Amino acid sequence: MMSGDGHHLSIPPSSVRGFAQEHNSNPNPNQNISTNPNPVVKKKRNLPGTPDPDAEVIALSPKTLMATNRFVCEICNKGFQRDQNLQLHRRGHNLPWKLKQRTSKEIRKKVYICPEKSCVHHDASRALGDLTGIKKHFSRKHGEKKWKCEKCSKKYAVQSDWKAHSKTCGTREYKCDCGTLFS
């Protein structure tokens, strides 16, 4: 830069950079900057085994927990996992049926404790948040390993774990059901 008298004016480069950053932090100067006075706070999920303290704690026996068809039709002996499904089925037999209605607008969250007394998830403060999760936990940690890998003979208690393992066992690739290979 030149001053009027022919002498150079020296400005350190660091102060020029700082000035540019301080006064032009928006990369797009044509874009309006708006601040939201009420930002949406995203509710974080509880970690496994740290349930909502207001949740209803449900304790099922191992037999009830692992039952695939707890609700059975008295006419044809067909089994269902949920009472609501049985009630819908009963309509086909022209039997009396009743679907449960939610009694309150507020849905009370349910958590499930492990039936195994020595397990950390047997304590209500370490309950798991969904029925599928507690079933898989119980099978993995306390159940029989029914599924065996053909290649390496490793055994699994949960079928989905065995299937996932089978797709990658003996290879560094993952083969999708559609036939695509992923590394």
Domain membership of residue 51 (yes or no) is no
Residues 157 and 130 occupy one common structural domain: no
For residue 119, is it within any domain?
yes
Does residue 54 belong to any structural domain of this protein? no
State whether residue 147 is helix, strand or coil: strand
Domain that holds residue 152: 144-182
Q: Which two tokens stand for residue 116?
A: 């195994």
pLDDT tens, position by position, 144-182:
999 999 989 999 999 999 998 888 888 777 778 888 887
Question: Which residue, 56, 81, 80, 61, is CA-closest to 132?
Answer: 81
Query: How high is the pLDDT of residue 69?
Result: 82
Is the pTM above the cut of 0.75? no
Domain assignment present for residue 77? The answer is yes
Decide if pLDDT at 14 tops 80: no
Please tell me which residue, 145 or 13, carries the higher pLDDT value.
Answer: 145
- Between 176 and 29, the more confident residue is 176
Instruction: Provide the domain count of the chain.
Output: 3
In the chain, which residue ranges form alpha helices assigned H by DSSP? Answer: 13-23, 62-66, 83-92, 131-142, 159-168
